Structure 1
């Protein structure tokens, strides 16, 4: 059993206390895995994966982003900030990496980003090259540049109409709503995240997942997607950092596998020398909550064990 510790540290916005947690192994430490969670969720949802990794000697940590989980104050759900929201959250991720690195020096250190967290992790790779033993990207993708630009423009238009904290049914329908339509007829509004109905129901019942993103947060995320697609930015990554991509081949965020392969190719063209891709047949967006989650975790552990010596 892992020992769960919760703590806070100052956000880069100078206002909030970021809520973080770590699962500490009760066996000799083999490395640290920092998880960067996705949109409209929180670190508590990674308890199963964290317990598995801790059982095998990996300390798992992560924070609830601004506007998420226990970091968000009432009325702030789905809201990063009025200005530079993407930069603020990336800096909060980097602050936790620094904090944990000081607590556990000389340990292999991995960053694992899921969905929006994978976009933040890709931003981290550009902004903080050479600070990680390896990187894991789950449920990532890359929409075409015109589509991302259109999404950002539309979100900006809605922000001017509704304010920074406004909620736009139109923006939500064109983003997360579009993902679910691929699995019609739908049992729920979140069929796209997993084939495991019990996991979908748990997600829908989670009080920290029951809100829509603000238009300013969506606009910030589209700006982030533009940033991580630019070749000149990708060239700033450390090409020696190993990267492990895994996704379901029925994940709409990853374009049913095509978008994931696109990002893999972007990394290889940027000179990354150790890039691994694993696509799981039939898997949807959240492979840690899929029917074959044990297989996914076993594969992740094998990759960590193979690469921990790079520290």
Structure 2
């Protein structure tokens, strides 16, 4: 396997760090990865190695406010304005770059946690750019809950400013995540049953950082939008989707993964598969059974790759 990283300019000129894993031979398909909150794309190198061995190429960007992209921005902060549309647009910029480099290769999206919410918004606009998509460690709740949370985030922005870090928001978002795993060894035991993987996260300076009030406002506003079934219906109904995660992930508790799969089916998407791993926590790719998870991922990708994809032709407006 070979690896390179490079800077990709987004549509507004923001420089995005992209990790690219590949072999010398032409890939049969490409996987682009959207990581979760308070982590970064280099953490997916182990998965990338297995995918490259199976003749996939992998591109993973550090999203705004995360990883090395934050070297040219602010850690934990998308943007001062219009952050949600910018992070969704960044996936479109990456997809466009991949298409230029591999014009014949089908493209898949693997989107985890925060990335899965951004990924759903991307699918509403650009699902015909993909062969399939995987939503990992995700969630589905009513728009009203996100609206209430947005009001709290806006109050915290008024109190602290858009770049402030609210302990109240952190508590409401993550404060209960370790309760099910007491006595917990670290603040991040909810990520994985594997202590070595948790320690890697804890000791990574680009992981576990707080996020700005403005990022929360952007994210929660986006989550209100994607939690409406009528909006999910904008996704191409023939796009293969895999919803996957652990039954003990405090983000979803398994149930809200099933709710997400149900909402996608209710939106008219025909091929939605649900995979919930018993006792798994939030990062199934870093879990104690990660080899099993990775095998299942390969099986799903190859099955989806074998399917023909024909997107509907947009109806032209009358002159």
Q: TM-score range by the shorter chain?
A: over 0.9
In the alignment, structure 1 residue 182 sits paired with structure 2 residue 180: yes
C-alpha distance after superposition, 1:116-166 (max 9, x if no partner): 001011111111131110001100112333321221111111011111110
Shift of 1:58: 0.7
| Residues 1-311 of structure 1 aligned to structure 2 (within 5 Å) | 2-14=1-13, 16-73=14-71, 76-254=74-252, 256-309=253-306, 310-311=308-309
User: Is the CA contact (8 Å cut-off) linking 1:118 and 1:140 kept in structure 2?
Assistant: yes
User: Is the CA contact (8 Å cut-off) linking 2:31 and 2:59 kept in structure 1?
Assistant: yes
After the TM superposition, which of the residue ranges 266-275 and 71-80 deviates more from structure 2? 71-80
**TM-score, structure 1 as length reference:** 0.96
**TM-score, structure 2 as length reference:** 0.93
C-alpha distance after superposition, 1:160-188 (max 9, x if no partner): 11111100111101102222223222211
Change (3 A) 1:51 1:278: same
Unaligned runs of 5+ in 2: 310-319
Shift of 1:28: 5.0
User: Is the CA contact (8 Å cut-off) linking 1:27 and 1:55 kept in structure 2?
Assistant: no
Counterparts of 1:259 and 1:290 in 2: how far apart (Å)?
Answer: 20
Aligned length: 308
After the TM superposition, which of the residue ranges 61-70 and 144-153 deviates more from structure 2? 144-153
Aligned to 2:71, the other structure's residue is in SS state coil
Unaligned runs of 5+ in 1: none
Counterparts of 2:202 and 2:192 in 1: how far apart (Å)?
Answer: 12
User: Is the CA contact (8 Å cut-off) linking 1:26 and 1:55 kept in structure 2?
Assistant: no
Shift of 1:233: 1.1
